[in-house]
Amino acid sequence: MEQLSVHAALAGKRILITGSTGFLAKVVLEKLIRTVPDLGGIILLIRAADGVDARQRFEREVAPSSVFERLRAERPHFLQDFFAERIECVTGDVTEPGFGMRPSAFASLARRVDLVINSAASVNFREALDVALAINALSVRHIAELARAAHAPLIQVSTCYVNGYHKGDMHELIVAPAKGAITRHPEGHYDLDSLLQRLGHRMAQVKAETSDPKRLARRLTDLGLAEAHYYGWNDTYTFTKWMGEQLAMHHMRGRAMTIVRPSIIESTLQEPAPGWIEGVKVADAILMAYARGKTSFFPAKSGAVVDIIPADLVANAITLAAAEALATPPAQRIYQCSTGSSNPISVGGVIDRFTTEAKRNWRNYERLFYRAPKHDFTVVSRPAFLLMLRTSGAAAAAWSSVRRAVGAGPSPALEKVRTTRLLAVTFSFYTAPQYRFHNTRLMALAARFGNEDLQRYPVDARIINWNDYLGRIHMTGLNRYALRPRSPGSTAAAMQAAPQPSAPLEMHT
């Protein structure tokens, strides 16, 4: 096959990106600006919020980001000029047909677009079904409408965890539901018409029966989890991301469309700076709970392979997929950004690297650790975890009752039990993996690029040194970029609870 080139494919092109206020999209945006300086331009579709339009949100939430520190230091005038002259901010909502724009404005936008990268997502595992469905699935119809009108390829960012309850080796293929019957389209993807009609009917019933907004949100969350489990997914996030894949394949039939599936996205390995991260991801929520003394045991399979991928390797895969889509005849492709098949690490290996570094050098991470870790972090089987949780919960509840009787506050031990339970409910599926993701097709794509591109856009997971990445790079990045400094002498900060857990993928946002 003819050798591909990122520069040759992207130079002069105008790329529309959704989800640009999120973690992964910022890494993609920075990489494109820094490595393809003669891009025609980047269009950011950003939803208005609280009376603030797209450009204002860009100036407040994206432009000041520390992800651009390298460019600000090396080429400040170039970055300033690029933001001013080649970043176009368009106010629109992906959950609305035509993004809520006038038809003439939508048509004008389509004429200015050469490529679409859709990284918009709700990354809350326990999102209300109507919200998750609108953002992660139904919005793909509207984004595909733009891509078709623009005759532009679509890069759809998904997640490896659309594989749901399947077991074994997971390849870069269309995923069948692990349970419940859904009709398969003759072209290979799944027809969602009946499913969406059924979910719409169930949501309408819940809304008709519930007037209290908080109770309604809880019921829609419970409905999303129940439907996800019924069809073979652990949570509403992965269920609706799978639906997004099917809608992308359906609405981009005969057009160029690539699905890029990352596994658990964590901080960058190399660029724009080692350890760059925004927010708290899956492993970080558990790590921070341990660092703050909020948990010391967790249900997991110590020897099972957990799939963690640095964000810059995902951004590189998106860039290579974009270049291929622009330079080759239209086709539908699936690539997985993962480490499990080529550079695997076990759950126990991750924990060992975190805890070893914490015990040796906890003072180097002053925002993460407020004091030396007192206990080991123990991985136990699910039955053992439930027994430990019941035992410690009963003891903590009894002690909390005593404290209340004498006018003291709630027991810290009870808070620890609640935090451990919440983390387990949210993340235990991902720490007891029963499958391994393969990236054979992504590696074959990388082999079609020259050495210069392979050095600039590496996707091979074998470049990761887990001791260095988990034991130093990631913890340093989490401490520097994701956490706020403590106020001097603040005792309240020292008692701060671990952040509320969210998703893997951005995962991604």
Planar angle of CA 299, 303, 309, nearest 5 degrees: 90
Specify the residue for token string 């998106």.
318
pLDDT of residue 507: 38
- Phi (first) and psi of residue 310, to 5 degrees: -65, 145
Cα separation, 300 vs 349, in Å, equals: 12
pLDDT of residue 304: 86
Domain locations along the chain: 1-94
CB 298 within 8 A of CB 428: yes
Nearest to 32 by CA among 87, 84, 81, 76: 87
pLDDT of residue 270: 97
pTM of the model: 0.90
CB burial string 359-385: b at 16+ within 10 A, e below: eeebeebebbbbeeeeeebebbeeeeb
DSSP symbol at 342:
T
Cα separation, 97 vs 259, in Å, equals: 22
CB 262 within 8 A of CB 335: no
β-partners of residue 335 are: 260
pLDDT of residue 355: 87
Query: What is the crossing angle of helices 347-361 and 282-291, to 10°?
Result: 40
Radius of gyration of the chain (CA): 23
pLDDT of residue 419: 66
Digits of tens for pLDDT over the chain (509 positions)?
A: 789 999 999 999 999 999 999 999 999 999 999 999 999 999 999 999 888 999 999 999 999 999 999 999 999 999 999 999 999 999 999 999 999 999 999 999 999 999 999 999 988 888 999 999 999 999 999 999 999 999 999 999 999 999 999 999 999 999 999 997 899 999 999 999 999 999 999 999 999 999 999 999 999 999 999 999 999 999 999 999 999 999 999 999 999 999 999 999 999 999 999 999 998 877 787 788 778 777 766 777 788 899 999 999 999 999 999 999 999 999 999 999 999 999 999 988 988 898 899 889 999 999 988 888 877 777 766 666 665 556 655 444 544 554 455 455 555 555 666 666 676 666 667 777 789 999 999 999 999 999 999 999 999 999 999 999 998 999 999 999 988 887 665 434 443 434 444 444 443 33
Cα separation, 508 vs 121, in Å, equals: 7
Q: How many CB atoms lie within 10 A of CB 402?
A: 10
Helix, strand, or coil (residue 88): strand
Distances (CA, A) of 227 to 198, 240, 360, 375, 476: 10, 10, 45, 39, 39
| DSSP characters over 403-427 | HHHTT----HHHHHHHHHHHHHHHH
